[in-house]
Chain A
Amino acid sequence: MNPDERHYRKLKPVPPQRFRTISEIGEALNALGQGFVTTFRHLFRKPITEEYPEYKRTLPERSRARIVLTRDPDGNERCVACYLCSAACPVSCISMQSAEDDNGRRYARWFRINFGRCIYCGLCEEACPTSAIQLTPQFEHVKREILSMVYEKEDLLVDHSGKDKTYNFYRWAGIRTGDRDKGEHEREDKPVNVRSNMP
């Protein structure tokens, strides 16, 4: 017997013509019955539906909803207003203006996200080089009044480090800020003394 024959033999035999209608009716009734039985069984099972808002499940940390601007472990704002999130955003919902404080630290003078446009894709979080902008699992911020969905920096800035508990961009950047001078950053040598011939 060749493999094709073996295969066809395993299939159910087609009944003769005069019995076909009866077997079809039988199959249909069987399928219906099975459906009813399954539903009937589920009637007495505990539902897995979670009744929101009476029950609020804790979402995973990586869930993408409301955006926040986090702080670094030293408590300073992480956002340096580099415009990368604004550039990455596919719906252009982020705008900001960067400025420099008295210590030489770049920060956002104002930072605005229009949550009416935001699609919570998380591309801004991926683009951010300082781990400042992060999406959190909090999704209950929608309102009807459209202008109230435009969040300013004071609405976005939180006082914790979000998902990245350790990164502090200014420890690595090599820029002179109030905390660190030239040569005091990670993996840096002291500044070259240009008035000396010593190596």
Chain B
Amino acid sequence: MPTLTIDNRRIEVPEGTKVIEAAEALGIMIPRFCYHRALGSVGACRVCAVKIVDGTRKGVQMSCMLDVEEGMVVSTDDPEAVAMRRHVIEWLMLHHPHDCPVCDEGGHCLLQDMTVSGGHGLRRYLGNKRTHLDQYLGPRIQHEMNRCIQCYRCVRYYREFSGYRDLGVTGIGNRVYFGREREGTLENPFSGNLIDICPTGVFTDKPARYFGRRWDLQRGPSVCIHCSLGCSVTVGARYREVARVEARYAKAVNGHFICDRGRWGFPYTNEASRPRAARVDGEATTVGEACAAARNRLLHVAETAGSEAVACLGSERAGLETLKAVAGICRANGWADPLFWLERRARENVAAAVSLLGDDLVLSLRELEAADCVLVFGADPLGEAPMAALALRQARRQGAPVFVFDPRPVELPLDFHHVPLAIEDLPECIRSLVGAAGDRETARGADPTVRSFTDQLAEPSVPPPPEAVAALRTSRRPAVVCGTDVTDAAAIGLAADFAALMKAQGRRAGLFYLMPGANGFGAALAGTEAASLEELLPRIEGGEIRALVAVEADPLGLYPDRGRIEAAMRKLDLLVVLDYLDTDSAAAADVFLPSTTVFETGGTWINQEGRIQIVRGAHRGGIPVSQTGGGGHPPRVFMEEVPGGQAAASGQTLTRLSPAEVKGASEWVRLPPDTDKQSGTRAVLPDPSALRFAPERTALSGAAGDEAMLTVIAVDRTFGTEVLSSRSPWLSAEETAPTVWMHPEEAGRVPLSDGDLLEIDAGGGSLVLPVKIVENMARRTLVIPRHRDAAWQRLGATRLRIERDCIRKAQPVGENAPVKESPPR
């Protein structure tokens, strides 16, 4: 660990640290433009000049390019270095336009900061300024090329870090241009990070354009709740409206970046259609009256039909406080067991994942980047948890081979091996890999459970891909990524067994599950004894359950059998809904109570690796001033109460509905005593050892070889399917109508061409969708996105088997696809 002296202060840093990082550790921020921790040092801008007084290379050097040496002496305020930095600022300002007042970056502009602190004031250059034409880059990113200082951060990020090719640099000298070959929306689903990394205002947030200055915003740290990764974000709000979301640095999770779904998924909190008033039987009323009405009616149902006739349903998007309240109210009142999931398969999958993860194997998103071989089972990272795809790319850039075993047409911004197997074949595939890559000799020396597991493994009917086996054999840090959306408990369990086996072989293996929703992990911890709505539905249909309280859940809009759930809801005597979205369930509720969002009250979310992240709200909430003012100036009134501000946190409101006192629901979630409130700590994971290497997973499951059957899966896509972000007008601005994906062989059997309409008779009804034929997907499989325009609720389940004669070509009618039916009440 070399020790060096910077400005007469000594510091010891690890080998390989750059001088600029060592200075930062001392609190000395050497000016920089092109240097970025995630993008590395390239030495382009030359503004980080320092004077090396003693070292191998003396004189004025660039601190971002120089590794520290033992005994190095650095001076940042040497007159030569200061003169050089001043000069670089002057050079960068030669052509910079005079537009700070109308530039959105003003107030958080690195160029402004460096220019002012460098003392640059007047432009003495007498030549003209070079100008550029701008391009339309989509509805989310604004392009203003005059401001560019050619730091090359954008193209380094876009092309090298995130792996997309449509943004690049053209030209030479001071005429270089950063843009697309032709105008058009940027294809990169992580393109929003350009806004954060550009040190000037070339790329700015278009939806937040001209909203306000950053110093006026109420800003606070928060966590993104659009997938299970739980990336850190910073929220900026003003005048009761969330203006923008930016990436916040989280060393262990997302690093410096977030995906576009997380950046622009927030409009649900500002929507004019967001329900702000409580309603009883459709009439608006105060929250107090609605709570009283709900409490009385729930009490009535409990008294007449028994306390078990009331059920309470939470969801995987709700914070832990809400889930605690759901569990607590059910327990305190003797209601039916709390429900957190709609489908049984989802509950089983997440429960399996959480119980099998284990402290010995769990990986954070950043640790996934350090893997030297990655196997992805039953997951579509870009569709389900986009930042995981970016992490896989970083692993690939370091040379790690990536293998994806999934039926969907998986796309990733890296070169990877895709094995498009049918989802039912996944457990056998994992077993075959375990068998082939498992070194029997080392396994013999291991635990008897491991030994008997590897001994009992059934012979696979198809050998595993040789490249995967070869890569695994030589890997030191293999990582297993497994999805819980389209898979089943067998595959999830085998993924854990696989990782554990590699660990037993002496490798630093890791396990990484993708989970549904932002708080799937929390819901699994909260509801270990709970069932799912699917399992409870017969009791609703049979009349045993008479009342349902849905908290931040939308059974009508999200249960995969629309007809059945509508009929069941009609049977209920009482439906109480607490939510912040205008869902179908909210519209059908007898009593509706408005809730606040994460931006208003914060909460606790547990991400897919068990990281507990507690965040506060950024602003008070209420109807945005832009809406109360009708777009003009705010109303000229003195007012104490906040318009539309009656909503409270759903957990709090829920406890007001409880006839009995809800107390002490915290025992069942083990939070470590020193949970850091800001950056999150990993929860103590349940001990998985009893559940791993289960003998029932050694046998072959029923293979999908039956040619007469097709598997239909309803899946998550990057944009358009996630409940909250699918409401964002900027993410859906360029949505195309949803299609069903089919393999050319399947299409040929019907027969169908690309764009033809396919009619599917499924468990919950019939649906018609246009077909898209893709090569890189599994045979005997239909993939449908869970998009609001895709009528996927007619399928009956999110994963089902249908007979081949249930699909046929449909004739085009007046419109493309039938729209979802409206709610019953």
Chain A: residues with CB nearer than 8 A to chain B?
80-84, 86-87, 97-100, 106, 109-112, 129-130, 147, 150, 152-153, 169, 172-176, 182-183, 185, 187-192, 194, 199
Inter-chain CA distance A87–B134, complex, in Å, is 30
Chain B residues with Cβ under 8 A from A175's Cβ?
Answer: 97, 99, 102, 144
Question: Which residues of chain B are within 8 angstroms of A97 by Cβ–Cβ distance?
Answer: 212, 239, 626, 633
Q: 6 closest A-B pairs (Cβ-Cβ)?
A: A174-B97, A110-B633, A82-B101, A98-B210, A83-B213, A173-B99
Residue of A nearest to B625 (CB): A97
- Find A187's partner among B100, B128, B133, B177 (CB 8 Å cutoff): B128
With contacts A80-B102, A194-B171 known, is A183 near B131, CB below 8 A? Answer: yes
Does B131 contact A87, Cβ atoms closer than 8 Å?
no
Chain B: interface size category: 35 or more
Q: Is the CB of A182 within 8 A of B133?
A: yes
Is the Cβ of A174 less than 8 Å from the Cβ of B131? yes
The complex places the Cα of A189 from the Cα of B174 at a distance, in Å, of 13
| 25 CB < 8 A contacts A-B | A82-B101, A82-B102, A82-B106, A82-B213, A84-B101, A99-B210, A100-B210, A106-B101, A110-B633, A150-B636, A173-B97, A173-B99, A174-B146, A182-B133, A188-B128, A189-B129, A189-B130, A191-B131, A192-B171, A192-B175, A192-B177, A194-B133, A194-B175, A194-B177, A199-B173
- Residues of A near B98 (CB, < 8 A) are 172-174
Rounded to whole Å, the gap between the CB of B378 and the closest CB of chain A is 45
**Chain B neighbourhood of A169, CB < 8 A:** 101
Please report the C-alpha to C-alpha distance between residue A97 and residue B106 in the assembled complex, in whole angstroms.
15
User: What's the minimum C-beta distance from A113 to chain B, rounded to whole angstroms?
Assistant: 11
Interface of A is mostly: loop
Contact B633 A191 (CB under 8 A): no
In the bound complex, do residue A182 and residue B146 qualify as a contact, i.e. CB atoms below 8 Å apart?
Answer: yes
Q: Does B216 sit at the interface, judged by CB under 8 A?
A: yes
Output the least CB separation between B135 and chain A (Å): 10
Q: Which residue from B130, B209, B212 sits with its C-beta under 8 Å from A83? A: B212
Is B542 in the interface zone, CB < 8 Å from A? Answer: no
Given the complex of chains A and B, what is the CA–CA distance between A80 and B103 in angstroms? 10
Whether A174 touches B129, Cβ cut-off 8 Å, given contacts A82-B102, A129-B101, A169-B101, is yes
Contacts A174-B131, A182-B146, A183-B131 aside, 7 further interface pairs with beta carbons under 8 A come to: A83-B213, A97-B212, A98-B211, A99-B210, A189-B130, A191-B133, A192-B131
Q: How far is the CA of A193 from the CA of B102 in the complex (A)?
A: 25
CA distance A191 to B97 in the complex (A): 13
CA distance A97 to B633 in the complex (A): 8
* A194 contacts B632, C-beta separation under 8 Å: no
A54 CA to B297 CA, complexed, in Å = 74
CB nearest to B126 among chain A residues: A187
Quick check: B210 and A81 within 8 Å, CB to CB? Answer: yes
Q: Give 1 or 0 for each of B560-603: 1 = CB within 8 Å of chain A CB.
A: 00000000000000000000000000000000000000000000
Which chain B residues numbered 327 to 348 have a C-beta less than 8 Å away from chain A?
Answer: none
Residues of B contacting A109 in the complex (Cβ-Cβ under 8 angstroms) = 631-632
B219 CB to closest chain A CB, in angstroms? 15
By a CB distance below 8 angstroms, the chain B residues around A81 are 210
- B106 CB to nearest chain A CB (Å): 7
Q: Report the Cα distance A100→B633, complex, angstroms.
A: 16
Chain B, residues 126-166, CB within 8 Å of chain A (1/0): the string is 00111111100000000010100000000000000000000
Shortest A63–chain B CB gap in Å is: 26
Q: Which residues of B (110-132) have their CB < 8 Å from a CB of A?
A: 128-132
The answer to whether B753 has its CB under 8 Å from any CB of chain A is no
